[in-house]
């Protein structure tokens, strides 16, 4: 797996296509999108209103800014969606360098 590399203060965009088990895209009831440090600590507040790039088609994006005091290492974004009371999560990993 190749991680995208970012530096402190960079802006990054996380794109997510939400699909069911039959690969049919849909819009979930809710989102919780959180940035985590290499040690697993939460960084900032969870985002709950991503950009809906194509309404009704499950195509969403969320922008983040890497903190200016970020430590180097492998960071992650955990994107949790809820539909009909069931949660699904997806992790997106990226590297932060000085």
pTM over 0.85: yes
Paired sense of beta strands 4-7 and 86-97, if any = parallel
pLDDT in tens, 21-73: 899 999 999 999 999 999 999 999 999 999 999 998 999 999 999 999 999 99
User: Number of helices (H) and strands (E), helices first, in the chain?
Assistant: 0, 8
- What does the alpha-carbon distance between residue 97 and residue 74 come to, in Å, rounded to a whole number? 9
Is 15:60 a contact under the CB 8 Å cutoff? Answer: yes
Could you tell me the fold of the domain covering 4-67+74-97? Answer: Immunoglobulin-like (2.60.40)
């Amino acid at each position: 797996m190749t991680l995208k590399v970012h530096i402190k203060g960079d802006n990054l965009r996380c794109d997510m296509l939400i699909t069911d088990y039959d690969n049919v895209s849909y819009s979930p009831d809710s989102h919780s999108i959180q940035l985590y440090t290499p040690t697993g600590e939460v960084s900032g507040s969870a985002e709950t209103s991503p950009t809906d790039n194509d309404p009704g088609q499950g195509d969403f994006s969320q922008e983040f800014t890497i903190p200016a005091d970020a430590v180097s290492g492998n960071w992650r974004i955990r994107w949790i969606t809820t539909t009909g009371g069931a949660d699904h999560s997806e992790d997106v990993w990226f590297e932060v360098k000085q």
